Structure 1
Amino acid sequence: MADDLDSRLRPATPAEWPAFRQHMAAALGMTPTGPYQDTPPPVAELDRSLGLWDGDRIVATSGIYSRSLTVPGGVVPCAGVTWVSVAPTHRRRGVLTSIMRRQLTELHEQQREPVAALWASEFPIYGRFGYAPATARAELTGRTERLHLRPDVDLGSGRVDVVEEDAYRPAAAALHESVRRSVPGNLARDDRWWDRLMRDEPEDRHGATARRYLLHTETDGTVTGYASYRVTPRWAETGEPDATLTVEEVRATSTAAYASLWQVLLSIDLVRTVRVLRASPDDPLRHLVTDGRALTGVPLDALWVRLVDVDRALAARRYPAPIDLVIEVRDEFCPWNAGRWRLAGHPAGGYCGRTDLDPDLVLGVEELSAAYLGGTSLAALQGAGRVTEVSPGAVTLAATAFGWPVTPWCPDEF
């Protein structure tokens, strides 16, 4: 059955895009809106798509975006898995398994991206294919009467201005390219991705204003921060203003610039509630305000990661503490990863290659993928019975070496 399915999986053509998109929306219980109903969007790579046809009907879809992912100490090519859908009439037939295996096998055989990543619609689905949540995000919410910057926060000598999109975009794009390289989990954005990010269709605002923009500029004219937001106006039954400020993105190259942007955001008239979308669980804002309990938000899984080729992926990142261990990896879905690997790493680089030596650690590729960006501790996974320590102290050494000072975070859904 699986072999037959695989033979019927093929990329979609531009002419098939309308049906391809319509199936995706229907399978996910959505109605397609916005542009690109009849033609693929600029970010689409149809040559990397897969569709399953049953007669003249599309019953399953998937795709890959060619992305660049920041990892601890470096940047690696990443296959951004997307468009995954299976019609309810074709579930539990091995369709999704065939799609996942085809994607990963082609990535390995073609020596393309050593890492794949996705956003999971449901938690239990992708672990069986070796994916694991490697970053977290939280929607932070707070009331403005409790959100005040600490009096000792240095706002520097720069200034914050409200700007139009044509001034905001090039400045934000340049700054993002700089800051994203220091945060594991961040993704590069070329013009196509900025086009997608900046789209602001009226039907998607749900009662909010059009997107608004801020830039923080130093006295010499250098842009050191940017923010985007929108306001949803509301009036309470008492007649008092009760608007909500939805903050979409705030990035800066200095604490002063970051704090200055937030000082303005927290001072917008008529706003009583602040929402920060897809924030890092360790957002510095928590440490800039006087009331550390004023911002609430439950961390949830965000970007899921899968090591396509263990050796290439582990050699591509850096390790803040020296490590020289033999790791036995279990990977039934991608058998080329299974076996023993010697990992030797340090702050300047890493090496990973096959070995016949006895293992110091034994774990599955799912666990290794979870720890890859430095946000999930191998010691915590050992506590859950998902990592086996063979050599005493190996988990402590590996957990330290796989960690990273900057919490991994991915604000870009795809």
Structure 2
Amino acid sequence: MTDVDARLRPVTLDEWPAFTAAMHEVFAEEPPADFAERPSSVAELDRSLALWDGDRVVATSGIYSRTLTVPGAVVPCAGVTWVTVAPTHRRGGVLTAIMRRQLTDLHEQQREPVAGLWAAEYPIYGRFGYAPATVEARFTGRSERLRLRPDVDLGTGRVERVSAEEYRPAAVAVREAVGRFVPGTMARDDRWWDRQLRDDPAQRKGATARRYLLHREADGAVTGYAAYRVTDTWTDTGEPDGTLTVEEVRATSTPAYAALWQLLLSIDLVRTVKYPSSSPDDPLRWLITDGRALHSTPVDGLWLRLVDVDRALAARRYPTPIDLVLEVRDPFCPWNDGRWRLSGHPAGGYCARTDRDPDLSLGVEELAAAYLGGVSLATLQAAGRVTEISPGAVTLAGAAFGWPVTPWCPDSF
């Protein structure tokens, strides 16, 4: 154990102001006033780590206890957050010590089989076995070109503007219904819905308060919801040039989804539409008349790390049968290093150590990237990051690791 390892410890409630001040200083942010004094309801101080230098916090980290939808199943996921190291203490092994402590604790305590995080900078976390497993499309377009096709079925329901109080229970039910089928979805309990719907005026950046929509069928059942804001701007010649920022749109049917977008795309005084947390495979592109009018900027989303290869691979489902031996390289977590027999099918999976000859050789990063079904093992092979030992193994494994629904995680943390 290094000196840094020995000095890392959870932060106490009394120490929270110093902890959060150090964290926000690294991110060049001002913490919300209430958050600066007391942690939010989703914070788990017993899963935090702080490094002190005298009376000053110089490194921070934390874990949220989350639940993640994976192909065909739901698994516990350690949501890694609050990771900072003060500039005065970088390049001294501090971040490595934090990552090692987190992953070792998860392994030894047999807690979450996977960990996830949102990376502030791309190159940081690969060396600790994390890899991007979802993508944000970040759609944008000019409203005058974004029109639904005339043959789109809008159903017989209606879209109505509602209050936050009316919106929340209906949105919870719809999201639970659709989220279980989308790998990358993070479950939201009441605490996370509180956080999601928080609307601090100081954080709006010139936009309106959040506005809410529900789609109701003729019988009153809610089948969709949307949340958005509008930024009111004008050109030098007095023309409206507003921006609509869509935060979330979910629905249990195509007509409900289309009807919500029809209203969003027709809001007055808006000239630019943005959907920064959209899925790269959002059906909106196929609902509009001009697909080229919807521009996307793909950005890495949720990064994953397999804490325990056997537990993680056994937890998900496989759309086609697989029975292969994977030779896994994991220098950071040596308990994962070695050969694993993976046997899986649509109803479940099995993974255990074996002395059989390997069919594929790959790093734990590559497994993490492919875990949700959004990154092809064939693509990783083409990049030189997967080695096929048994002919045809990449094709078999690629089909088994794939999933018909593109992974997507709109919940950053």
Does the CA contact (< 8 Å) of 1:360 and 1:391 recur in 2? yes
Name 1:201's counterpart in structure 2: 200
- TM-score, normalised to structure 2, is 0.99
Name 2:84's counterpart in structure 1: 85
Q: Deviations over 1:354-398 (max 9, x none)?
A: 110000000000000000000011100000100000000000111
Name 1:273's counterpart in structure 2: 272
Name 1:32's counterpart in structure 2: 31
- State yes or no: 1:231 paired with 2:201: no
Does the CA contact (< 8 Å) of 1:60 and 1:87 recur in 2? yes
State the number of aligned residues: 413
- State yes or no: 1:101 paired with 2:100: yes
- State yes or no: 1:316 paired with 2:315: yes
Does the CA contact (< 8 Å) of 1:139 and 1:277 recur in 2? yes
Matched residues in 2 for 1:308 and 1:202: separation?
39
The structural deviation recorded for 1:220 is 1.4
- Secondary structure at the aligned position of 1:231 is classed as strand
The structural deviation recorded for 1:152 is 1.0
- Secondary structure at the aligned position of 2:92 is classed as coil
Q: Deviations over 1:86-142 (max 9, x none)?
A: 000100000000000000000000000000000000000000000000000021111
Name 2:169's counterpart in structure 1: 170
Name 1:410's counterpart in structure 2: 409
Name 2:59's counterpart in structure 1: 60
Matched residues in 1 for 2:221 and 2:346: separation?
31
Does the CA contact (< 8 Å) of 1:34 and 1:201 recur in 2? no
Matched residues in 2 for 1:297 and 1:150: separation?
20
Q: Deviations over 1:115-172 (max 9, x none)?
A: 0000000000000000000000021111111011011110111111000111001110
Matched residues in 2 for 1:27 and 1:233: separation?
32
Name 2:112's counterpart in structure 1: 113
- Secondary structure at the aligned position of 2:228 is classed as strand
The structural deviation recorded for 1:34 is 4.3
Name 1:262's counterpart in structure 2: 261
Name 1:133's counterpart in structure 2: 132
Does the CA contact (< 8 Å) of 1:60 and 1:85 recur in 2? yes
Matched residues in 2 for 1:141 and 1:218: separation?
29
- Secondary structure at the aligned position of 1:85 is classed as strand
Identity over the aligned pairs, expressed in percent?
Answer: 75
Cα distance, 1:34–1:252 mapped onto 2, change above 3 Å: farther
Matched residues in 1 for 2:3 and 2:234: separation?
59
The structural deviation recorded for 1:238 is 2.1
- State yes or no: 1:390 paired with 2:381: no
Does the CA contact (< 8 Å) of 1:326 and 1:358 recur in 2? yes
Q: Which runs of 5+ in 2 are unaligned?
A: none
| Ranges of 4+ aligned residues in structure 1 off by more than 3 Å | none
The structural deviation recorded for 1:289 is 0.2
Does the CA contact (< 8 Å) of 1:51 and 1:59 recur in 2? yes
Name 1:152's counterpart in structure 2: 151
Does the CA contact (< 8 Å) of 1:70 and 1:180 recur in 2? yes
Q: Deviations over 1:255-310 (max 9, x none)?
A: 00000000000111111110112111111101100000011021010000000000
Instruction: Report the RMSD for the aligned CA atoms in angstroms.
Output: 0.8
The structural deviation recorded for 1:56 is 1.3
2:363 aligned partner, one-letter code: G
- TM-score, normalised to structure 1, is 0.99
Matched residues in 2 for 1:389 and 1:17: separation?
49
Name 2:293's counterpart in structure 1: 294
Matched residues in 2 for 1:300 and 1:187: separation?
18
Matched residues in 1 for 2:395 and 2:223: separation?
38
- Secondary structure at the aligned position of 1:279 is classed as coil
Matched residues in 1 for 2:68 and 2:277: separation?
17
2:377 aligned partner, one-letter code: L
Q: Deviations over 1:290-334 (max 9, x none)?
A: 000011021010000000000000011011111110000000100
The structural deviation recorded for 1:35 is 2.4
- Secondary structure at the aligned position of 2:297 is classed as coil
Matched residues in 1 for 2:407 and 2:128: separation?
22
Q: Deviations over 1:232-274 (max 9, x none)?
A: 1111122211111110000000100000000000111111110
Does the CA contact (< 8 Å) of 1:230 and 1:247 recur in 2? yes
Matched residues in 2 for 1:279 and 1:153: separation?
21
Deviates more, 1:194-203 or 1:99-108: 194-203
The structural deviation recorded for 1:33 is 2.4
2:301 aligned partner, one-letter code: A
